[in-house]
């Protein structure tokens, strides 16, 4: 069986770039624990590979990622949720963000929930016009648990982060560009590849050590809130409303929340 997260290398201007590809298109590239483990192993390999000058994060299929697979976290107890899903997911995404190499998220479809959190772990983001972005967790009685709320606030400001996380409704790629959630827009898949290759050319022309040091300085803007996120997600999962949200999702009906 082919892995659900694939790593490959390609040459760019005579230098080596890495590609991380989500490979679960039949499930909208929804993230599960094996995918997080595969991503963790790939990040470990990239950390040690000085030949890799830049990394592209992309996905196969119509969606970049529809988020954390509800079948992966829905059955967990609150304690398991905090320890095995939230804290582990935060660690993996933080390791991706902390890579010394610049990381480009090439978003060829919808990036929702945990999929958006994954994209926000990249340094640069570009998306096709048809992509949508959202944090629908509150519609399931859950919260954006992999530091997404914090990253959204840093990228687009607290007011817009409130709009996205509290309403739970997606925004278009054009709005995402206007808000600063992405920094470039592509007409289609071909234009996406063209622009990504242009960025890779530029990144490969830059000094690797200087870019790594710059990323290190930018990373100091993040306070460690992983424990707070894990606690909040644990509290959310323990509510009757979250259990109702998960049931309603599986039964394909509108949830009835009772604030319990």
Q: How far apart are CA 112 and CA 63, in angstroms?
A: 9
pLDDT tens, 44-99? 999 999 899 999 999 999 999 999 998 888 888 888 888 888 999 999 999 999 99
- Predicted pLDDT of residue 222: 63
pTM value? 0.87
Q: Which parts of the chain have pLDDT scores under 50?
A: none
> What per-residue string of b and e applies to 197-222 under the rule 16 or more CB within 10 Å gives b?
eebbeebbeeebeebeeebeeeeeee
- Predicted pLDDT of residue 225: 64
Contact yes or no for 92/43 (Cβ under 8 A): yes
- Predicted pLDDT of residue 174: 98
Residues 6+ apart with CB under 8 A from 128: 107, 108, 109, 173, 185, 186, 187, 188, 189, 191, 192
Active site residues: 117, 137
Contact yes or no for 148/222 (Cβ under 8 A): no
Contact yes or no for 162/179 (Cβ under 8 A): no
Which structural domains are found in the chain, ordered by start? 5-205 (3.90.226.10)
């Amino acid at each position: 069986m082919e892995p659900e997260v694939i790593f490959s290398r390609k040459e760019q201007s005579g230098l080596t770039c890495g590609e991380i590809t989500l490979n679960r298109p039949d499930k909208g590239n929804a993230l599960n624990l094996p995918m997080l483990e595969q991503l963790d192993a790939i990040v470990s390999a990239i950390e040690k590979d000085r030949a890799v000058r830049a990394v592209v994060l992309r996905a196969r299929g119509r969606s970049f990622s529809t988020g954390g697979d509800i079948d992966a976290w829905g059955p967990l107890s609150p304690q398991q949720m905090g320890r095995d899903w939230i804290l582990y997911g935060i660690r993996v995404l933080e390791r991706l963000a902390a890579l010394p190499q610049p990381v480009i998220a090439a978003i060829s479809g919808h990036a929702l929930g945990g999929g958006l959190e994954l994209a926000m772990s990249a340094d640069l983001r570009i998306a096709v016009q048809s992509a949508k972005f959202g944090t629908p967790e509150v519609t399931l009685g859950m919260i954006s648990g992999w530091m997404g709320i914090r990253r959204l606030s840093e990228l687009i400001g607290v007011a817009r982060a409130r709009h996205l996380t509290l309403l739970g409704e997606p925004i278009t790629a054009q709005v995402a560009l206007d808000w600063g959630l992405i920094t470039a827009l592509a007409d289609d898949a071909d234009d996406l590849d063209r622009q990504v290759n242009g960025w890779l050319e530029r990144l490969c022309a830059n000094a690797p050590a200087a870019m790594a040091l710059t990323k290190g300085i930018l990373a100091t803007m993040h306070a460690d809130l992983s424990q707070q996120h894990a606690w909040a997600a644990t509290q959310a999962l323990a509510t009757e409303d979250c259990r109702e949200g998960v049931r309603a999702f599986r039964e394909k009906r509108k949830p009835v929340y009772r604030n319990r």
